[in-house]
A and B are shown apart, each in its own frame.
Chain A
C-alpha cells in the first residue's frame, strides 16, 4: 500500500514538508492548489468528500499566497497550503449548508473566526466538505446531499459527522481540513480513514461561526495525515476570541516545538472501562500493539479507572439533543433558508411544513428527544440528571489525570462499517461514539491517530489529554509516527479515479 512520495503528486506531501518546498520555490501555491483541484476532480466523484469546490477562489488565494511567498514576509507554515472546511463553518459569500436541505441556498454574510484566522495565515480553502446534517451522525449518511465514501473501501462509511473532512485528507484531496467534534465527530472519522484528528479542549478554539449543534460540547479541530501537521494547523486556529465568551483566555504554546520525539517517562493510563467486550478483536489488537510500541519509546503504563464511563452515552444523548433543540429553533423559515410559508395556512402551519421539509429524520429525532428532555416535569429526571453525570465524568478524568499524563484507548469500537449497515438502528450508530463522548462531556482534548490496520481497514488509537495540554498528546502521537509507517499509507483509489481530462467531477467549481 505504501507509495513513495512522487514530485508529480504533491497532494501526497505533508504540510510541514510542503511549507519548506514553497519557501524554496520548488513549487508555487498555484501549482500546489491546481494539483489538489485535479486530485479532487479525479477522485471526488467516487469519494464525495466535497459539497462545494471553490476553485476560482482557491486559485485567487493561491496567487496571493505566491505573492506573499515572493515577498518573503508574513509567512507561516500554512501560507499557500490548500485546506478545506467542514460545511458547518460559515464562509462569507460561499454557500454553507451544514449538510442540511434547510440551508441549501444559504450564503452567509460573514466568516467564522477560524476561517478568518486560516486566511490571515495565508492558507487556501479548496471548498466545503460533506457532513452529517447539522453534525448529527457517525457515518455522514445523514447528509442531505448523499453520503461520503471511505477512500479505503468505497462501500464503507468514513465515519462522521466530519466524514467529508476525514475522507478528503485520506484521499489526498486536501493537505488538512477542519472538522467539528461534539461527541467524537473528528476522532471517529479520523480513526476510520487513517488520518489524525484532534478534538481540542473546550474553549481552545473559537466557535464563532461554527453552526451550533450542542454548544457546550462542540469544538473545532484539524484533520491531517501527521501529528506535526496537526500541530501546525492547531497553532493558527487556537486562541481566545472576544466573540466567543466560552473561548478561553489561555496562552497558545508553540505546539510544533513540543514535538520532540521524546516520551520517556510519559505516564499513560489504560482505563479498564475502555477495554470491554463489544470492541472488535482486531481493534483491540492494534491498540495493544500501539501500547507496546509506545512502551519501547519509554512511556510508562498504568491501569486506571474511569468508573462513570458507561453513563456517558446516555447523558450525552440528553444534553446534546437538548441544546440542539434550542440551537436549531432559529431555522423557522422566517429569516433565511428554506421557507414553505407561502403555502401554509397560518404561522404554526408554516413552521411545521418548513421544519418537516428542511430537516432530515435524524435531526428531527434529536430535536424531539431534546424538546422532551427539557419539558416541564421531565427536566429534573433527564437534563438535570445528565448534567450531574457530566460532573461525575469530569471528576473521573480529574482523578485519572492526577495519576497519569495521558489516557489511551481505541477511538472506535469497530473499523469502518458498510454504508447502510446502521442507518435503521440509531442505537448501534450511537455506540460508535462510546469511547469519544466522555472527552466532550469533560471538555478535555483528545487525538485519534493511525494505529494500524485490521482486515485492511484503518484502526485509530485515541489519546486523551488534560485540558489545554494538546501539546502532550500530539507529542506522543508524533513519537509513535516517527517509528511507524501506518500514517504514510494511502488507500488505492486508482480504480475509482477518473483519468485526467475526464468529465468534471459534478460538484467541482460550483459556488453558491
Chain B
C-alpha cells in the first residue's frame, strides 16, 4: 500500500478518532501493595512482593493516593465523580499478569462524562471524555533467543506489575490526526500539571491507543473502526493516524471493506500492520472484585481534593496574558509545561527594573529564546536546568543596568548553562563589566575613524548607515563589552567634530 495525496481524501471522507490514554500515576507505592513504585532501570523483579507476584492467598489493599490522583484528574477534566465506585476483575491469561486477572474498573469508574478543550483553527474545540478509571499495570516480558540453540524464550519482570494505571477514554470527537495529537498534548499537559504523571511517552509511562474510522462526508453512521497501538510519541500518534486514515480511505475507494481489528504502528516503516482481528478478541469476563469492598467517595473528600488542585494550563495561560500582558503565543509556550511556567514566574519576581509587563517580557524572551535553545540542544528540560530563576534574573538585571552588554549576556548564559555557575557569579568573579568609560571608548572610536576613511566619507555625505558600521567596528574592538547606545553619541560627536 502506498500513501496517496491527502487533499482528495479530506474532501470525500471524514475521519473519526477516539483515544484511550493510559498513564502511570506518580504514587510512592504500587496500586495494591506497599512495593516501591519507582522501579525505573532497577534489576528485574527487585520491586516485588507476595501481592504483586500473585502468590496464593494474598489480598489487595487500595492505594488511597492513587484514588486521589484519579479524582483530581477527573475534576481537571470536568468529569462527574460518582458517590459509589468499585473495582472489577478483567480476566485473561498472559505471563505478565501474575493473577490471571487485572484489577480494573468496569461499570462504575471513578470519573465519567468530562471534556477538555483543544485549539482548532483559531478557536477552541471541546473533546468529550467518556470515562477515566483506575487499574494496575502489568509486568513486562523480555524476549530472548538462546545464542547456542537459537531457541526463543521470554523472561518475566514484575517490577511494573501493580503500578497504578489511569485509563482515560475519549469520545470519538476528533476529526483529524492533528486533533488527536493536540488532544494528547493537552491531556499530557494537564496530567503533568497535576503532578499525577511524568508524561513521558517515550518511557511508556504515558501510552496511547487510538480507535479510528472513516466515513463518507455527510454519513451519520460511523465506519468500521480499527484500533491502533504502539504509538510512542506525539509525532507518531499523528503519523500513524494519518497513515491509517489514508489506508482505510484507499480500501473503501477500491470497493473493499474495513476489517475490525487491532493494528500496530511500525515507526521505522511508517505503516500500521494487523495484529489481531475481532474474532480473536478476548472475552474478559468482568465481574466485581470480591477482595475489595466498593469505594464510597464522600463529597467532603472530593472538595478536599479539589482545594488541593493546582492552577491548570488554560487558566494559567489566561492569567499570564492578563497579569503579565504577555502575547497569546508567549503565554501558550510558557504554560505548556508547569515547570516552565513556574520558572518564568520565579524569574519575573527577581527581575528588578521596569514595570511588570516589561519585566515579564524580558524574562519570557530569555526563557523561550536563548534558554530554550540551549535546553533543546542539550536534549534536557527546564527541570534539569542548572541556571536558577534567580540566576537568570540576575543576568537580566545586569543587562538592564548596563553592567553588561547584550552580547556579553548571551555569552555568560551559555557558560553558566554549561558549567552550572550562576550568571551573577561569573560576572562578579571575572569582573566582566561593560566598557562604558568614555575615555577608553573615545580612544577606540578615534582608532576606528582613522582606519575607516571610506565610512567617514559616507557619513559626511549623509549616509546614516555608516554610523552603524562604525559602531559595529567599535564593538568588535571592545569584544562586545561596549553597548551601542553608549558608543553612538561618542562616535557622532567625534565625526561631527571632523566635519567642522
Closest residue of B by beta carbon distance from A336? B55
Q: Which 3 A-B pairs have the closest CB atoms?
A: A329-B100, A215-B290, A374-B285
Q: Name 9 A/B residue pairs within 8 A (Cβ), A-sorted.
A: A90-B57, A211-B57, A212-B56, A244-B59, A246-B292, A329-B100, A330-B100, A335-B156, A375-B283
Name the residue on B nearest A209 (C-beta): B57
CB distance from A396 to the nearest CB of B (A): 21
Are B91 and A379 closer than 8 Å at their CB atoms?
no
**A245 to B156 CA separation, bound complex (whole angstroms):** 28
B457 proximity list for chain A (CB < 8 A)? none
Residue numbers in B under 8 Å from A275 (CB-CB): none
Asked if residues B95 and A210 are in contact (CB atoms below 8 Å), the reply is no
CA distance A89 to B57 in the complex (A): 8
Number of interface residues of A (CB under 8 A): 44
In the complex, which residues of chain B have a beta carbon less than 8 angstroms from the beta carbon of A335? 53-54, 98, 156
B89 on interface, CB distance cutoff 8 Å = yes
Residues of B within 8 A of A361 (CB): none
A315-355 at interface with B (beta carbon < 8 Å): 322-323, 325-326, 328-332, 334-336, 347, 351
The SS class assigned to the A binding surface is loop
B450–chain A nearest beta-carbon distance, Å = 87
Size band of the interface chain B makes with A? 20 to 34
In contact, B293 and A103 (Cβ under 8 angstroms): no
A490 at the interface (CB under 8 A from B): no
B451 interface hit (Cβ, 8 Å): no
Check B101–A329 contact: CB distance below 8 A.
yes
Chain B residues with Cβ under 8 A from A351's Cβ?
Answer: 93
Within 8 A of B (CB), among A67-117: 89-90, 96, 98, 103, 106, 108-110, 112
Which residues of B sit under 8 angstroms from A331, Cβ to Cβ? 100
Which residues in chain A, 223-267, are within 8 Å of chain B measured between CB atoms? 242-246
Is A326 touching B57 in the complex (CB atoms < 8 A)? no
CB pair B293 A329 closer than 8 Å: no
- The answer for the CA separation of A211 and B58 in the assembled complex, in Å, is 8
B48 to chain A, nearest CB (A): 10
Q: Report the bound CA distance from A215 to B288 in whole Å.
A: 11
Query: How many angstroms from the CA of A209 to the CA of B55 in the assembled complex?
Result: 9
Contact yes or no, B101 A326, CB < 8 A: yes
Q: When chains A and B are docked, how far (Å) is the Cα of A437 from the Cα of B60?
A: 26
**How far apart sit A244 and B58, CA to CA, in the bound complex (Å)?**
9
Does B3 have its Cβ within 8 Å of any Cβ on chain A?
no
CA A331 to CA B55, docked complex, whole Å: 9
Which of B56, B99, B292 is most buried by chain A, counting CB atoms within 10 A of its CB? B56
B50 to A326, Cβ gap below 8 A?
no
Contact A212-B57, Cβ < 8 Å, known A326-B91, A330-B100, A334-B156: yes
A:197-214 near B, CB below 8 Å:
207-212, 214
Q: CB distance A108 to B54 under 8 Å?
A: no
Residue in A323, A330, A336, A371 whose beta carbon sits within 8 Å of that of B99 in the complex? A330
The answer to the question of A383 belonging to the interface, with a C-beta cut-off of 8 Å to chain B, is yes
For residue A305, CB closer than 8 A to chain B, the reply is no
Q: Which A residue sits closest to B60, measured CB to CB?
A: A245
Q: Is A14 an interface residue (CB 8 A)?
A: no
Bound-state CA distance A216–B62 (Å) is 17
The answer to whether A379 and B58 touch across the interface, beta carbons within 8 angstroms, is no
Query: Within 8 Å CB of B89, what residues of A?
Result: 326
Chain A 494-507 interface 0/1 with B at a Cβ cutoff of 8 Å (1 = within): 00000000000000
Query: Are A109 and B60 closer than 8 Å at their CB atoms?
Result: no
> Does B291 belong to the interface (CB within 8 Å)?
yes
Cα(A99)–Cα(B53), bound, Å: 22
**CB-based contact A208/B56 at 8 Å:** no
Contact of B56 among A98, A242, A325 (CB under 8 A): A98
| Cβ contacts under 8 Å, B100 to chain A | 326, 328-332
- Bound: A207/B99 CA distance, A: 17
Q: In the complex, what residues of A have CB within 8 A of residue B95's CB? A: 332, 334, 347
For residue A376, CB closer than 8 A to chain B, the reply is: yes
Known: A245-B293, A335-B98. A109 touches B55 (CB 8 A): yes
Q: Are A383 and B287 in contact (CB under 8 A)?
A: yes
Within 8 A of B (CB), among A362-383: 371, 374-376, 379, 383
B419 to chain A, nearest CB (A): 51
